[in-house]
Amino acid sequence: MELEAFCRKLPKVELHAHLNGSLSHSTMLQLKRYHADSGLTDNTDAFFDEFQIAAGDTRNLKQCFQVFRIAHSLTTTPEALTLATHLTLQEFQDDGCCYIELRSTPRDTPHMTKKQYIEAIILAMLHTPANMTIISRLIVSIDRRFNFAEAQEITDLVIEFHKLYSSVVVGIEISGDPSVGKFQTFVPLLENAKNAGLKVTLHCGEVCNPDEVQEMLDFNPNRIGHGTCILPRLGGNDATWNTLCIKKTPVEVCLTSNVNTKSIANYESHHFKELFDAGIPIIICTDDKGVFATSLSQEYRLCAETFKLDNSQLAQLSHRACLYIFDETSRKTVLDKLEHFITHNDLHLQ
Ligand code: IMP
Ligand code: ZN
Query: What are 172-199's pLDDT values in tens digits?
Result: 999 999 999 999 999 999 999 999 999 9
Q: CATH number of the domain at 39, please.
A: 3.20.20.140
Within-domain flag for 350: no
Within-domain flag for 39: yes
Determine the pLDDT at residue 51: 79
Q: For 142, which DSSP code?
A: E
Domain with 274 in it: 3-344
Give me the residues of the chain with pLDDT under 50, please: none
Count Cβ atoms below 10 Å from residue 55 Cβ, excluding itself.
12
* AA letter at 308: K
**Residue nearest atom 11 of ligand 1, based on CA coordinates:** 176
Within-domain flag for 60: yes
- Is 206 one of the annotated active-site residues of the chain? yes
**Residue nearest atom 10 of ligand 1, based on CA coordinates:** 68
Q: Which residues contact 211 (CB under 8 A, 6 or more apart)?
A: none
Within-domain flag for 31: yes
Query: pLDDT tens digit string along 3-54?
Result: 999 999 999 999 999 999 999 999 999 999 998 898 887 766 656 678 788 8
Question: Are residues 23 and 31 in contact, defined by beta-carbon separation less than 8 angstroms?
Answer: yes
Number of domains in the chain: 1
Within-domain flag for 349: no
**Residue nearest atom 19 of ligand 1, based on CA coordinates:** 287
Within-domain flag for 134: yes
Atom of ligand 1 nearest to the CA of 141: 2
- The angle at the Cα of 292, spanning 289 to 297, to the nearest 5 degrees, equals 50
Atom of ligand 1 nearest to the CA of 178: 21
Distance CA 16, CA 238 (A): 27
- The string of DSSP letters for 65-120 reads GGGHHHHHTT--SHHHHHHHHHHHHHHHHHTTEEEEEEEE----BTTB-HHHHHHH
Distance CA 180, CA 115 (A): 25
Query: pLDDT tens digit string along 140-149?
Result: 999 999 999 9
* Separation of CA 341 and ligand 1 centre (Å): 33
What Å distances lie between residue 7 and 188, 199, 272, 299, CA to CA? Answer: 41, 28, 18, 9
Determine the pLDDT at residue 45: 64
Task: Select which of 206, 212, 252, 299 is catalytic.
Answer: 206
* Separation of CA 133 and ligand 1 centre (Å): 26
Determine the pLDDT at residue 46: 53
Burial class (CB in 10 A: 0-12, 13-18, 19+), 264: buried
Within-domain flag for 139: yes
What Å distances lie between residue 218 and 183, 213, 215, 291, 294, CA to CA? Answer: 12, 9, 5, 31, 32
Within-domain flag for 126: yes
* Separation of CA 257 and ligand 1 centre (Å): 11
Determine the pLDDT at residue 44: 67
Determine the pLDDT at residue 350: 84
pTM above 0.85, yes or no: yes
Distance CA 138, CA 164 (A): 13
